[in-house]
Amino acid sequence: MKTKITNGILMGLIINMVYPKAIGVTQGLMAREAMNDIWVAMVFSTIKGSVIMLLTVLIICRMPDKNLAEYASVLFGKWVGKFISLLQILFFLGAYATVMITFVYHMLDYFLPEMPVLLLIVVALIVGVYGVFHGLEVLGRTALVGVFAIISLNVLILIGSLHLMDVRELMPFLNTGVINTFIASRHNDTDWAVATMMTGMILPMVREKTIWSRAGVGGVMFSAIMVGMWPLLEVGVLSPEVTGHYTVSCMQLARSAEIGMFIHRYEMIMVAFFAITSLVQTMICILCTSQAASQLFGLKDIRPMIIPSALVLSAFGYWIVLDKVRAVELLEHVWPVWALSIAISLPVILYIVGLFIKPRPTPSDRETA
């Protein structure tokens, strides 16, 4: 794929990859453990996310035209590269399931309870495949629309719920202890993991290599700003106990918001904005899986892999969301282990090994240099 995107678009993609689950599901998961300190847990997690993002960028900088799997194949050989691609597919399989949990439960639980789950899965599949077929550039531009949607959503929720906020709910600071809050931050780590893994795949397609690290870490920071008001509002408006009581806690906040006497129940408008960013996430997951699959099967073009990848992701996503107990089990217990073991170990190992093994630069690297 010869497409190139700008660093700004990369930042937009990172924001879109983090936002939907981070505001929708993660805050509730963290509130069950860290109570009123979920915003502190988010700060911890953002620092960790920035480090892993920086590490990922530094690895790619060593061979700017290669993504993580290709770099691994240069370091360790073809089969290890294929193994890394397989790990990436597995990672995005799980990531897609969490995206579907977020997307489907928002729609199904609060707006369209009578709609068949399959229809929502198929809609995400069609939109996702459609976007990926148009390539990363179009996807990146959609992500910028997604950023606009995120800002609009944030402004709307802020206007509608700030007056309901009780600052006392945010106190006492570090009520459940530093260690517990740090452990609880693993749920938010999984959101950053999706962003860093995506960056590890698409960074070679980003134009200006010199500002990659700034764009990568900047993307994390901007995402944190976009997401950061949600834990504060959810705890301040709903209370930590209520936040932890719901699977999709952000919708409870949205249901409580009202602007003056006449504008209430405007969560339908907010969810329309939310759906844009959620569908961008869907597209990126399909793109990354297709790319990893094409590397696994030694294909130069990702297009033959788009539909098979999307079908596998959708089938798994459908199976997960069909049973809410299974979905919550995945989110709470399985996904943090699954995601973090891949997203942390992969860049850390590649970075450390890369310090000792210096692969000879390929002709394309020389050209880039």
Partner 1 sequence: MNKPLSVCLCIAFVILLSGCGKREISDLALVMAVGLDKGKQEGTVRVTAQIARPADARGQTGAPSGQTGEPIYSISAEGRTIFEAIRNLARFSSRRIFWAHNFVIVINEDYARDGIMDVIDFFSRNHELRMRTWVAVTPHAAHELVSTQTGLEVIPGQSVDRLFRYNEIVAEAPRTDMRQLLAAYLSRTSHPILARLTLKGRGTSNKKPQEHGSIDQVELSGTGIFRKDKLIGTLDSKESQALLYFTERVESAVVPIPCPDDKKNEASLELRYQRFTVEPTYQNGKIYFDVRLKTYVDMVESGCRSRLSQAELMQLMEEPLEKVLKERLEKVVKAAQRTYKVDFLELGKYFENKYPKEWKKVRDRWEEEFPRAVVRVHVETEINNPVLLEERVNQRGENK
What is the binding site for partner 1 (CB under 8 A)? 109-115, 119, 123, 126, 130, 133-134, 164, 168, 171-172, 175, 237-239, 241-242, 245, 252, 255-256, 258, 261, 264-265
Q: How far is the CB of 174 from partner 1 (least distance, A)?
A: 8
Q: Closer CB to partner 1, residue 164 or residue 328?
A: 164
Q: Closer CB to partner 1, residue 140 or residue 219?
A: 140
User: In whole angstroms, what is the distance from residue 293 CA to residue 301 CA?
Assistant: 10
Q: How far is the CB of 138 from partner 1 (least distance, A)?
A: 11
Q: How far is the CB of 302 from partner 1 (least distance, A)?
A: 16
Q: Closer CB to partner 1, residue 160 or residue 347?
A: 160
CA–chain centroid gap for 157, Å, is 21
Spatial CB neighbours of 15, under 8 Å, sequence gap ≥ 6: 143, 146, 147, 150, 219, 222, 223, 226
Q: How far is the CB of 241 from partner 1 (least distance, A)?
A: 4
Per-position DSSP letters for 209-243, written without gaps between them: GGGHHHHHHHHHHHHHHHHHHHHHHIIIII-HHHH
Q: How far is the CB of 240 from partner 1 (least distance, A)?
A: 9
Q: Closer CB to partner 1, residue 95 or residue 254?
A: 254
Q: Closer CB to partner 1, residue 175 or residue 213?
A: 175
Q: Closer CB to partner 1, residue 95 or residue 276?
A: 276
* 3-class secondary-structure state, position 258: strand
Label residue 369 exposed, middle or buried (CB < 10 Å: 0-12, 13-18, 19+): exposed
Q: Closer CB to partner 1, residue 41 or residue 217?
A: 41
The pair of structure tokens assigned to 293 is 């699959």
Alpha-helical segments (H) within the chain: 7-21, 27-34, 38-62, 68-76, 78-110, 117-133, 135-161, 178-184, 186-202, 212-233, 240-245, 249-256, 267-296, 303-322, 324-329, 335-356, 363-368
Q: How far is the CB of 239 from partner 1 (least distance, A)?
A: 4
Q: How far is the CB of 122 from partner 1 (least distance, A)?
A: 9
* 3-class secondary-structure state, position 263: strand
